[in-house]
Amino acid sequence: MAVALAPHRLTRRAVLKGGALTFGFAFAGLPTHGLADEALAAPRSVNPNEVDSFLSVNGDGTVTLFCGKVDLGQGLRIAMRQIAGEELGISVDMINYVEGDTALTPDQGRTSGSNGIQRGGMQIRQAAATARQALVELAAQRLNTKADDLVASDGEVRPKSGGAGVRFADLIGGRSFNLKLNSKAPLKDPVTYTLVGKPLPRPDLPAKCTGSLTYIHDFSLPGMVHARVIRPPAIGATLISVDESSIKHLAGASAVRIKDFLAVIAEDEWTAVRAARALRAQWSEWSGLPAQDKLIETIRANPATTEEVLVTRGQPGTGSPSRAMTRAASYFWPMQSHGSIGPSCAVADIDSDKAIVWTASQGTHGNRKTFARFLGLPEEKVRLVYLDGSGCYGMNGHEDAAADAAILSRAVGRPVRVQWSREDELGWDPKGPPQLLDISGAVDPSGRILQWHTEMWLPQTTRGLPDVPLLAPAAAGLDNVRGLQPGLISQNADPPYAVDSVQVLVHWLEDAPLRPAPLRSPGKPANCFAVESFTDELAFAARLDPIEFRLRSLADPRGIAVIKRLAALMNWQSRPSPGSNKDAAIMRGRGMAYVHYKHNETYVATGMEVAVERTSGRIRVERVACTHDCGQIINPDGVRAQVEGGIVQTLSRVLMEEVKFDRSRVTSLDWSTYPILRFSDAPKLDIALVDRPTEPPLGAGDASCAPVGAALANAVFDATGARLRTVPFTPERVKSALGGV
């Protein structure tokens, strides 16, 4: 199955046309616009302050939306259309969509931190509102009437009193607005919304369900070769020698070595796989990882730390110290993988003076600088184009695979596709870091929280580091950033409740056992696990029902509302934990946890009903209930899907996930050693969304992850009287905890 070799420079134009069909995703039946071709000829504005960067009105009456945020499966492709269509006055099926292409879309920042809608969407709302104001003014001139008497709707501007209107296309079709985003452009009154707030279907799903969507894994270029990168058997090993004769029996396969960066390339993919297996290479020894069974002690003893008080508030309480009940506990969350179902993949076409990289990266724009740096090219000569990948929840191996492909394409002078193996992905994707939290506190018998102290150990984000450092440039000795970028992992380490005195102290670690990166809801699942578990420990000390205990100390009305709604959803029986069946063979219980995400975003209350088998130590989560308030909801089904996914994925992390390693490398390299949740463990879900149309929209991708660990731990405590403080809650850990009851 040799690929006929075409001189690929000649085919670049055809290729980009093909690319435009895939990323310039359009509804069926609408024309495509050859956008990529036009952009190469005359780059369009991508300045995020310009209306033209975000949208254009085409001569055929359609609108094209240019979005710097990308759709990872979270539904931005419909939500952004709803936002723009609502403000402009045009239906969503008249809106074409281009996303995540550095040459075509404005830099709206990385698609991360649940900010797709709450930041990116609001830029698009403002751009569309500015455009509508301009269209109405143009129509007022054309119709010789007052702008106030006109309304934009169904792709035209027409008199409010009725009568003929003017189509957007006739007002400005094919021409530029030449306007800055106007922060004062009037927004539609939410009461009049016809698109925002509706569960419109996601437009990419028919293609995803019929195999016609082009994922990065499916993308190919004429003349492209297939590559596999050979990572060292130990993380810090250097390459001593390569025996190229070991693959000479494989026709067309060859090895590429750049310092410690080693790869094989072949004309077809299977030959590349065989070559990667067959290639003999000698690496140096390295064993610089800590012992896994001493990880917590190693973290505590790490001398390379900086201490910082993150939160300090209140005064020691006036309650009688003799009535104070003090508690202290330690919680641990292990390193975890993104666990993407498809190992990372990328395609790159690099020549001496420019680079195009097709990638499923969540941050094409931000990575432009990174790629320009290690390729030694000016930033404007580097273009990254987003294509769908296998789900990624922060930063998996997508960027690394893209760097692999770029370095190899430059080395061999042809387009290169790099596909990681399962072992590559679980072994080398950047990991969610380990998190250790010690909490102490005091409560009085009335449930008043007198004192709270959180002390935690976290890898410190290196100041000024633009991105997570990539593997290939480092191995190849190219210019690469150095440092740690685990994301904003220190938030929500203090309770959301009234406490007489609170302090949060962090020990910032200058190193991490494995390369860290943001992993969905960065840091918050662990912090909320500790804070909300400890909250229940205080409730237990005060012999109060966990919900009653929280409501006594919570002032925020939206927080109170989600907790009360959860209680109703679960038919919550008010009583202290644990319940009365803790001696049964199958022990049942319920528990809950609450988060106000980052203390200023989405409100979530999550409850669980569990059954714990005494003999096996197995936890069965029978039902998860969740109430979720992310302000104005753009697309309720999209939010619901995100909440469902956040709960189920985090449940997997809490029940079974922990990266295993020896002194040299990660050893949990497949789905049997790094198991994730399967259908037999998928719980029933009851989700209630609170819509607040007049409030700003907040994120929905992360917040529901945060309370999962504590809700489960609290439910297990309610069922058994045993407290789980270390993730994952494996049957062995459960049995051990039960033994201690």
Partner 1 sequence: MASYRLRINGGERTIELSDPDQPLLYALRGLGLTAAKFGCGLGQCGVCNVLLDGRATRSCLETIASAAGKSIVTLEGLGSISAPHPVQAAFIKEQVPQCGYCTSGMIISAVALLAEKPKPTEEDIREALEGNLCRCGTHVRIIRAVMAASGQGG
Query: Which residues contact partner 1 by CB under 8 A?
Result: 1, 28, 72-74, 201-202, 204-215, 217-218, 251, 268-270, 273-274, 338-343, 388-393, 419, 421-422, 637, 641, 644-649, 652, 670-672, 676-680, 682, 684-685
Q: CB 429 → partner 1: shortest distance, Å?
A: 12
Closest approach of partner 1 to the CB of residue 373, in Å: 29
For the chain, how many residues are written? 741
Question: CA 94 → CA 108, 174, 231, 638, distances in Å?
Answer: 23, 15, 47, 20
The least distance separating partner 1 from the CB of residue 261, rounded to whole angstroms, comes to 23
Q: What strands lie across the sheet with 345-350, from one edge to the other?
A: 254-258, 261-266, 225-230, 416-419, 345-350, 355-359, 382-386
Residue 236: phi and psi, rounded to 5, are -100, 15
Q: Which is nearer to partner 1, 74 or 130 (CB)?
A: 74
What values do phi and psi take at 362, rounded to 5?
-80, -5
Least distance in Å: CB of 248 to partner 1? 14
CA 552/CA 231 separation, integer angstroms: 55
Q: How far is the CB of 705 from partner 1 (least distance, A)?
A: 10
Shorter beta-carbon distance to partner 1: residue 346 or 648: 648
Burial class from Cβ neighbours inside 10 Å (0-12, 13-18, 19+) for residue 571 reads exposed
**Please, which residue, 311 or 641, has the CB nearer to partner 1?**
641
The smaller minimum CB distance to partner 1, of residues 9 and 208, is found at: 208
Which two tokens mark 58?
Answer: 């085409």
Compare residues 421 and 714 and give the one whose CB is closer to partner 1. 421
Q: Specify whether the backbone of 654 is left (phi greater than 0), alpha (psi in -120 to 50) or beta.
A: alpha
Q: Which residue, 341 or 584, is less far from partner 1 as judged by CB?
A: 341
Please report how many Cα atoms fall inside a 13 Å half-sphere around the Cα of residue 722, on the Cβ side.
Answer: 22
Q: Which of 621, 607, 627 is nearest to 656 (CA)?
A: 621
| Pairwise CA distance, residues 390 & 418, whole Å | 14
- Shortest CB 343 distance to partner 1, Å: 7
- 311 token code pair: 């939160």
Nearest residue (CB) to partner 1, 202 versus 735: 202
* Alpha-carbon distances of 347 from 227, 407, 413, rounded to whole Å: 10, 11, 13
| C-beta closer to partner 1: residue 469 or 683 | 683
Provide DSSP, 624-653: EEEEEE-SS-S-HHHHHHHHHHHHHHHHHH
Structure tokens at 343: 């190992």
Count Cβ neighbours within 10 Å for each residue of 581-597 and write b for 16 or more, e otherwise. ebeeeebbbbbbbbbbb
Between 3 and 324, CB nearer to partner 1: 3
- Judged by beta carbon, residue 89 or residue 675, the one nearer partner 1 is 675
For residue 703, the number of C-alpha atoms closer than 13 Å in the C-beta half-sphere is: 27
The CB-of-676 to partner 1 minimum distance in angstroms stands at 6
> Could you tell me if 253 and 263 are in contact, meaning their C-beta atoms sit under 8 angstroms apart?
no
Q: How far is the CB of 197 from partner 1 (least distance, A)?
A: 16
Closest approach of Cβ 270 to partner 1, in Å?
4
Min dist CB 360 to partner 1, Å, is 9
- CA distances 619 to 241, 416, 708, Å, are 49, 46, 14
Q: 107 vs 637, which CB is nearer to partner 1?
A: 637
Closest CB 717 distance from partner 1, rounded Å: 25
